[in-house]
Amino acid sequence: MKDAIVIYFMGMDGSGKSTLSSYLYNELEVRSYNVERVWWLEYENSVLRRLLRRLGRTTVLRSGQRTNDSKSFGRRTDRLTLKLFRALYPRLVLFDYMLFGLRKVWIPKKTGKKKILIFDRYIYDVISSLSREFGYAEPTRVALFRWFRKVLPVPDKIFLIDIPPEIAFARKKEEFRSMKNAQALWEFHQDLFRLVDRLVPGRSVIIDNTGDIESIKKEILEDALSLVDGEGSQ
């Protein structure tokens, strides 16, 4: 391999992407490949993220406490602070993740020859989640995708792990709390699948994770080995 290879597992909660990415990591490690597995959301607990969550809770609390006089200077100030926080928060999160991506993807990609990087989620998940939470229009989301595609390496292989929302809900009832939430998240990921496949063409494969698990694992391993061997023969 001339460069590090990036493999990305995408899917809704309960789809099995963590199980399958761990399986691929173990199989490649057994075969003596230099491989690393990264859970992208591990950076949710960064120093900046903890500070932002604390500031967010304080800002929302202060804004909610002033309910008697909507014309008071304090209430107007709190509203302005809350509006400013909501405007800056997603930008700071994306900046924080860019630094994480440079350390976890860009540097290994540029310097880590003969290395395989397996990601459980990637920057695309973060962009789409923030777009959904803050109501970004489609052009804004696409623009962010394209900008980060220039900054961070595009995955060499994307496994889109797909299951019906009913199965995901059965696996993680406590997290979803309702079938309606599971259905909404499934639809969100179907949209994300289409967007990633359009913006990063020719690199994704949909894995139907409702069939025989051993056959699914075999398919993923064969695809990964084909990619690695293909790079090595160039």
Q: Give pLDDT tens digits for 176-221.
A: 999 999 999 999 999 999 999 999 999 999 999 999 999 999 999 9
In one-letter notation, the amino acid at residue 35 is: V
Q: What is the dihedral of CA 142, 145, 150, 155, to 10 degrees?
A: -130
Average pLDDT over residues 22-51: 91
Q: How confident is the model at residue 233 (pLDDT cuts 50, 70, 90)?
A: very low
Reported pTM: 0.85
> What superfamily would CATH give domain 5-232?
P-loop containing nucleotide triphosphate hydrolases (3.40.50.300)
The conformation of residue 157, written as its DSSP 8-state character, comes to E
Give the relative orientation of helices 73-101 and 123-134 as an angle to the nearest 10 degrees. Answer: 160
The pLDDT of residue 28: 97
Q: Does 212 or 84 have the greater pLDDT score?
A: 212
Q: Give pLDDT tens digits for 123-177.
A: 999 999 999 888 888 999 999 999 999 899 999 999 999 999 999 999 999 999 9
Go through 160-180 and write b for each residue having 16 or more CB atoms within 10 A of its CB, e for each that does not: bbbbebebbbeeeeeebeeee
**CB of 10 within 8 A of CB of 17?**
yes
Q: How confident is the model at residue 6 (pLDDT cuts 50, 70, 90)?
A: very high
The least confident of 22-26, 83-87, 115-119 is: 83-87
